Amino acid sequence: MRRQHIFVTILVLAVIIPFASANIFTDTWGKITGKATNQPVDLSINIGSGGAPSITTFATAITDVSGGLNEGPLSTTVTVKFEATDSEGYGNLNDSSATATYSKSGETSRSVQCTRIGGESSGNVANYSCPVEMWWWDGPGVWSITTFIKDVNNNQDTDATKMFSVGSTTGFVSAPSSLTWNVVNPGATNQEANQHMTLNNTGNLVRNVEINATNLLGVTDNTKGLYATNFTAHIAAGCEGTAMRNKLFTQVVGASVPIGNYSLADGTGQEDIYFCLEGANPDLTQQSYSTAEEGAWTLKIVA
């Protein structure tokens, strides 16, 4: 009987000691019996970037250019305003990201970074002003407006619902203001002028070129003259161009003033006209001949 008691005691100790040393007897027993006193729980939370801003572009706040842009070399500032709303307050908007872009098929897009209007911004709303610079060669017709903004979390919004119209502008400037020839002998032919005329398009329409010529009468003896019909105009150096008529506008064959930035002085937005005295009358006397009496020649551009 004594030997049996000792055996049981040793067995119980052998079972208790390993569990107690790991300090999990209570939890293990609790789990078996459904009476656990603690349980680990893993947590996972995704933090969002907040709500995206919302843009409203003011159609009534677009500069009216339906009457046309300024003639070159001046630019025209076309301003649009928009309102941006952010549920986290307007301070959550990224002001440096605010832009406006004007675009039209076949034309160069015009863009600008907008400026927040401090006195018109409060709460969740900020107002922005976008003064976009346009140029005299920007085409007439309907242009689209795209306004854009991001918040500090890179949420963004775009409004491309507004448009405005650009009117037609017609104009040009030319140089030089006078033409000269070397000394011409009576009966001489194919005498080219020392200068040619360059016409710069200051508008946004392609136009043809017409010239109203007059006779060049003698300064001393006005009964002698170099007649308008003795002259031709051409789009390249040389003679055999379009014959002029006295006091009548004549369209120069092949001459047109294209659209573009003539200030580049590389032919863009420009047309050159060359002049030739095809023949001098054989009865001319030695003196100067000019347009002083019958009036200067006139250049004009037409559709």
How many helices (H) and strands (E) in the chain? Answer: 2, 20
State the Cα–Cα distance between residues 57 and 73, nearest whole angstrom.
30
Q: What is the pLDDT of residue 154?
A: 94
Q: What is the pLDDT of residue 228?
A: 97
Secondary structure of 26-79 in HEC code, one letter for each residue:
HHHHHHHHCCCCCCCCCCCCCCCCCCCCEEEECHHHCCCECCCCCCCCCCEEEE
Cis peptide before 131 (omega within 30 of 0): no
- Phi, psi values for residue 287, rounded to 5°: -175, 175
Q: Are 261 and 269 in contact (CB under 8 A)?
A: yes
- Sign for the pseudo-dihedral over CA of 245, 247, 248, 250: positive
Could you say which residues of the chain have pLDDT below 50? 1-26, 29, 47-48
Q: What is the pLDDT of residue 46?
A: 52
State the Cα–Cα distance between residues 212 and 227, nearest whole angstrom.
13
- The tokens describing 58, both together, are 């003011």
Q: What is the pLDDT of residue 12?
A: 32
Report pTM: 0.78
DSSP string, 164-222: EEE-----EEEE-S--------TT-EEEE-S--EEEEE-SSS-EEEEEEB--EEESS-T
- Phi, psi values for residue 91, rounded to 5°: -65, -15
Q: What is the pLDDT of residue 9?
A: 28
Q: How far is CA 142 from CA 55, 61, 132, 166, in A?
A: 22, 16, 16, 6
Give the strand order in the sheet containing 298-302. 249-257, 207-212, 298-302
Q: What is the pLDDT of residue 44?
A: 64
State the Cα–Cα distance between residues 113 and 95, nearest whole angstrom.
9
